[in-house]
Amino acid sequence: MYEIPAPMLAKSAAAVPDDANKPMLYEPKWDGFRGLIAWDGHALEIGSRGAKPLTRYFPELVEQLPQLLPGPCLLDGEIVVATGSGDQRLDWEALSQRIHPAASRVAKLAAETPAMFVAFDLLAEGDEDLQPLPFRERRARLERMLAGARSPLHLTRTTDDPDLARRWLAEFEGAGLDGVVAKPLDDPYAAGKRTLIKIKHARTADVVALGYRIHKSGSGVGSLLVGLYGADGELRQVGGVAAWTDAMRRQLVEDLAPLVERDESGEAVTGEGERSRFTGAKDVSFVRLRPERVLEVRYDQLEGARFRHTVQFERWRPDRDPRSCTYSQLEVVPSYALSDVLA
C-alpha cells in the first residue's frame, strides 16, 4: 500500500492571480471532503486532510473505484455528494452525514446519496513516485490515466485562462462549488504546505449577536454566535465568529456583559448550541445575550439557512436595528447545473 502523505494546501487570495512570470492552471474548488485514494491493486484506502481515514465512510467508492482505475495509483482529489432532481448541486449536509459511527447507517446513506470522487492530482503511478515532478507533468499523466473514467470517478476540469477562471468563480457557485483554485504549473507536490492559491466569494452581512462560548483556555470569548431574523420574525442562529486576539477575547466579555441574559438569582442564562457529528461530546453550551447588538461580518456562502463556514468580524454596527438583520439582505446565487461542471 502507498504511504499517504499530508495533502498539499492552499492560501487565500482576494482575486484570481494572473502573473505572466508564474504560469498557473485554474480549477473549480469542490466543496467536499479532501481525499487521497491509494489503490495498490489489492486494497483501496482513503486518506483525509486530517489523521482520520475516510475508508469506512464511503464503501461505494471502495467497491467501485478499483474497477475504474487502470492500475495501482495514488490520487489526490475531493469526495462530494450531489442531490436534487434535474439539475443537481453539491450537498454538504448530505456529505457530512456520512461521518457516522454505525456501519448500517453509512451503508444506507451510501445507497441513497452515493458519493463521487473528483480527481485533480496524481501522486504515484505504479511504483513511480510523481510528487517531485512539476504539476504540468502530473496533470498530463492524470489526464491520460483517467481519459476513459466514468462516474463515480471524475477528472476535474482545468483552464489556463484567468478570465475563464473568473467566470467559473461567478457561475459554478450555483452548482454548490466553493470557488477557484490556482496551481503553479512548475511546482512539485508540496505535502502539507500552503503553496496553492484559493479564491472564494467574499460577502458581508449585518447579523445579531445572540450568545458566546467561552474560549477553550477558559478566558474570554472563544466564538460569538450570530443570528438573522426569518420571514416569520424568529431569530435563527446562522453561524459563529471566531479567531479573536487574546486581548479582544477578554475585552468582549466586558463589552457584552450588559447584554447577558440572567435568571432571577442573577446567574447567566445558558443555551445549548446545535450539536453535529463533528462536535461529538464537545461542550456546545453558550452564554445567552439579549439580541440588541449588531455586527457586520464577512462570509463566503450559505449552506441552507446557515453560513457554510465560520465568518469573520468586520465591525460593530450601532446604527443598525437588530430587527433589520434579515435573510433578505443576503445574495441569492443563480443555480447552475452540476453536470455542466463535471462535463
Judge if 47 and 159 occupy the same domain: yes
What per-residue confidence (pLDDT) applies to 260? 92
What per-residue confidence (pLDDT) applies to 275? 42
Q: Assess if residue 335 is contained within a domain.
A: no
Judge if 98 and 187 occupy the same domain: yes
Judge if 155 and 300 occupy the same domain: no
What per-residue confidence (pLDDT) applies to 274? 53
Tell how strand 235-241 and strand 306-307 pair up.
unpaired
What per-residue confidence (pLDDT) applies to 244? 84
- Catalytic entry in 29, 183, 193, 216: 29
Q: Identify the domain boundary among 200, 225, 245.
A: 200
Report the alpha-carbon distance of residue 281 to residue 67 in Å, rounded. Answer: 39
122 is in which domain, residue-wise?
A: 9-200
Query: 67, 125, 114: which is closest to 91 by C-alpha?
Result: 114
Burial class (CB in 10 A: 0-12, 13-18, 19+), 163: exposed
User: How many domains in the chain?
Assistant: 2
Judge if 85 and 191 occupy the same domain: yes
Q: Identify the domain boundary among 200, 223, 239.
A: 200
Judge if 126 and 234 occupy the same domain: no
Amino acid at 72: P
Phi, psi of 68 (to 5 degrees): -100, -20
Judge if 153 and 180 occupy the same domain: yes
Q: Helix (H, G, I), strand (E, B), or coil: what is residue 137?
A: helix
Report the alpha-carbon distance of residue 125 to residue 78 in Å, rounded. Answer: 19
Judge if 172 and 31 occupy the same domain: yes
What per-residue confidence (pLDDT) applies to 273? 56
Instruction: Note whether 12 and 39 are within 8 A (CB).
Output: no
Judge if 148 and 13 occupy the same domain: yes
Judge if 153 and 285 occupy the same domain: no
Report the alpha-carbon distance of residue 209 to residue 18 in Å, rounded. Answer: 39
* Low-confidence residues in the chain, pLDDT < 50: 275-281
Q: Assess if residue 4 is contained within a domain.
A: no
Report the alpha-carbon distance of residue 125 to residue 123 in Å, rounded. Answer: 7
Q: Assess if residue 81 is contained within a domain.
A: yes
Residue 221, beta-bridge partner list: 214
What per-residue confidence (pLDDT) applies to 87? 82
Judge if 192 and 235 occupy the same domain: no
Judge if 231 and 294 occupy the same domain: yes
Residues 6+ apart with CB under 8 A from 212: 221, 222, 223, 224, 225, 252, 256, 286, 287, 289
Q: Identify the domain boundary among 200, 234, 257.
A: 200
Tell how strand 153-155 and strand 115-125 pair up.
parallel
- Catalytic residue status for 198: no
